[in-house]
Amino acid sequence: MPRVKRGTMTHKRHVKVLKLAKGYWGGKSRLFKTAKEQVAKSGNYAFRDRRAKKREFRRLWIARINAACRDHDMQYSRFIEGLTKAGILLDRKVLSDMAINDAQGFADLIERVKTPA
């Protein structure tokens, strides 16, 4: 049975990891061992931050809606409560966009919430 040398596959694996580590600082982009460690860490950070991004955006939307509500003398929590009672099904992303780009539409929405039907 012939002897199997594994240099080709090892080289392939090293190239793959170093390609993923491209752009890292110093030895992390040039040395296989440190590159491998950093690629693993980077993967963990990416996984964690894909979830954190959703939370951060929600916080941003809420802050924007709150600011727009306060311009119309209303609290954010009362506004959301009023939307729920009025049966208006708009998510925070859309409400935030309305508050920025469609001030009149947002004001109409607040009037509908203030005077329940």
Write the pLDDT tens digit of every residue in 67-94: 999 999 999 999 999 999 999 999 999 9
The share of the chain scoring above pLDDT 90, in percent, equals 89
Contact (CB, 8 A) for 95 and 74: no
The DSSP letter of residue 28 is G
When the pLDDT of each residue in the chain is averaged and rounded to a whole number, the result is 94
pLDDT-based confidence at residue 116 (cuts at 50, 70, 90): low
pTM for the structure as a whole: 0.78
CATH class of 7-114: mainly alpha
Domain boundaries, the chain: 7-114
Q: Rounded to a whole number, what is the distance in angstroms from the first to the last CA of the chain? A: 86
